[in-house]
Amino acid sequence: MTGEAVRYLWSGYITFGLVTIPVNMFPATESKSVAFNYVHAQCGTPLKYDRVCPKCNAVIAWQDVSRGYEYEKGKWVTLDENDLRSVPFPKGKNIDIIQFVDLSEIDPIYFDKSYYLAPEEGAEKAYALLTQVMQLTNRIAVAKIVIKTRQRLCCVRHFQRALILETMFYPDEIRKPDDVVAGLTNITLRPNELRMAQQLVDAMTESFRPEAHEDEYRKALISLIESKVSGIKVEPPPTPQPEEPKSLIEALKASVETAKAKTRPAT
């Protein structure tokens, strides 16, 4: 992370058997979405938000704020710092590797956020050893880490000679898709529909190139903001209405023809 102004978010150790690797953790991604604040439409002043108790009709100071848990609809229990200290909480600054697995064994739904792990001075050799052994064995490490007030499941993997920590969801945090697939029990697909769908997938298959993708909406939104700042009136473009196919098979045929007609960029 040399030369970057990003401050590390966490500092600790990767424990790999009896090997200990001191590391600092940095965010590996950043959101580029355009952020808005609510302002008073008449004067453009940003609005303030206070901690107001609707029952007492009063603004509450921070020292009078407690943590509350809604155990039933409209019923709350409050917890103070003494209550929280009574619950055993794992301490330490370790990324404790539990096991090594194939990346293909973990469905992407389990992944949450990505962080770079940078070795501290003197730990470069052990860091490089762990990185290269995971490359050679095609494995990633499943581990646990304490971040702020949570013990997180995570994995450590190699990425372009660096190590990345991916925070993960626990199994009970993954919602079941039962409601999503409930209506699929009696669906029957015809062979020609499957065959045409496979042709469409084949026609649209190419190597993934991240640089070929951009956020068109964000780009247009920034252009709109720049025009408004310059005092230029912007008119919304007309929205074309595509003709709806009459059936699934017609939609597949038209899609295959469109995909095959496109000139693909050189890879």
Q: What is the pLDDT of residues 209-261, one digit of tens each?
A: 988 888 888 888 888 888 878 888 877 777 777 677 667 788 888 888 888 78
Q: Between 4 and 116, whose confidence is greater?
A: 116
* The domain boundary residue, chosen from 171, 196, 220: 171
For residue 201, tell me if it sits in a domain: yes
Is pLDDT of 266 > 80? no
Same domain assignment for residues 192 and 131: no
Same domain assignment for residues 27 and 99: yes
Same domain assignment for residues 17 and 139: yes
Same domain assignment for residues 26 and 155: yes
Mean pLDDT of 57-78: 90
For residue 225, tell me if it sits in a domain: no
Same domain assignment for residues 102 and 18: yes
For residue 111, tell me if it sits in a domain: yes
Q: What is the pLDDT of residues 85-113, one digit of tens each?
A: 888 777 778 999 999 999 999 999 999 99
Same domain assignment for residues 27 and 97: yes
Mean pLDDT of 42-68: 89
User: In this structure, what CATH number is given to the domain that contains residue 122?
Assistant: 2.40.290.10
Same domain assignment for residues 141 and 15: yes
Range of the domain at 196: 188-206+245-260
Q: What is the pLDDT of residue 245?
A: 67
Same domain assignment for residues 254 and 161: no
Same domain assignment for residues 96 and 165: yes
Q: What is the pLDDT of residue 3?
A: 47
Is pLDDT of 128 > 70? yes
Here the tokens at position 168 are 């993960």
Is pLDDT of 115 > 50? yes
Buried b (16+ CB within 10 A) or exposed e, 239-264: eeeeeeeeeeeeebeebbeebeeeee
For residue 229, tell me if it sits in a domain: no
Is pLDDT of 56 > 60? yes
For residue 58, tell me if it sits in a domain: no
Q: What is the pLDDT of residues 135-193, one digit of tens each?
A: 999 999 999 998 887 889 999 999 988 999 999 999 999 999 998 888 888 889 889 98
Cβ 152 vs Cβ 49: under 8 Å: no
Q: What is the pLDDT of residue 145?
A: 92
Q: What is the pLDDT of residue 24?
A: 94
Same domain assignment for residues 25 and 103: yes
Quickly list DSSP for the chain: -TT--PPPSEEEEEEETTEEEEEEEEES----PPP---B-TTT-PBPP---EETTTTEEPPGGG--EEEEEETTEEEEE-HHHHHTS----SSEEEEEEEE-GGGS-GGGEEEEEEEEEPTT-HHHHHHHHHHHHHHT-EEEEEEEETTEEEEEEEEEETTEEEEEEE--GGGSPP-HHHHGGGTT----HHHHHHHHHHHHHT-----GGG---HHHHHHHHHHHHHHTT---PPPP---PPPPSSHHHHHHHHHHHHHHS-PPP-
For residue 166, tell me if it sits in a domain: yes
For residue 60, tell me if it sits in a domain: no
Q: What is the pLDDT of residue 81?
A: 81
Same domain assignment for residues 133 and 194: no
Is pLDDT of 1 > 80? no
Q: pTM of the full predicted structure?
A: 0.76
Here the tokens at position 143 are 């581990």
Total domains in the fold of the chain: 2
Same domain assignment for residues 136 and 255: no
* The domain boundary residue, chosen from 171, 197, 227: 171
Measured distance CA(154)–CA(115) in Å, rounded: 11
Cβ 154 vs Cβ 168: under 8 Å: yes
- Band of the pLDDT at 5, cuts 50, 70, 90? low
For residue 47, tell me if it sits in a domain: no
